[in-house]
């Protein structure tokens, strides 16, 4: 009697594991690529919105600077003074400080006023 051996379909576990790891690696790389692409577009849109806001803010600053210059001009201040919106108070004589420049030439040993920004080196 001959015995018939059952035919087994052997599974090569090493090859199967290699293909599973390779497929998983490719899938993870694809997901990372898609995530990075979406993040790039999202940050690009955000950057564009911030640039538009920056341009608008600079425009508002220019308008405000013009308004400040107009409202603080001499003509505007005189007009507001005539309207009674502003009130001017004369400066008292005791609050005025007068600095007289020396009139004579300085000698070799004379004390001279100087400005030394580099004192204390």
For residue range 29-39, list pLDDT tens digits in order: 999 999 999 99
Please indicate whether residue 76 or residue 26 has the higher confidence score (pLDDT).
26
The reported pLDDT for the residue numbered 51 is: 97
Stretch 57-82: mean pLDDT, rounded? 92
**Which CA distances in Å does 16 have to 12, 13, 21, 67?**
6, 5, 9, 76
3-class state of residue 71 by DSSP: helix
Stretch 25-49: mean pLDDT, rounded? 97
Q: How many CB atoms lie within 10 A of CB 77?
A: 14
The reported pLDDT for the residue numbered 100 is: 79
CB-CB contact of 65 with 72 (8 Å):
no
For residue range 10-24, list pLDDT tens digits in order: 788 888 999 999 999
């Amino acid at each position: 009697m001959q015995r018939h051996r059952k035919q087994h379909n052997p599974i090569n576990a090493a090859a199967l594991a290699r293909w599973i790891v390779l497929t998983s690696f490719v899938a993870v790389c694809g997901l990372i690529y898609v995530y990075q692409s979406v993040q790039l577009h999202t940050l690009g849109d955000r950057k564009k919105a911030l640039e538009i806001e920056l341009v608008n803010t600079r425009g508002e600053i220019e308008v405000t600077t013009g308004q400040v210059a107009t409202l603080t001009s001499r003509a505007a201040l005189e007009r507001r003074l005539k309207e009674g919106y502003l009130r001017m108070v004369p400066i008292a004589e005791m609050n005025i400080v007068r600095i007289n420049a020396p009139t004579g030439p300085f000698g070799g040993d004379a004390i001279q006023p100087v400005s030394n920004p580099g004192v204390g080196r």
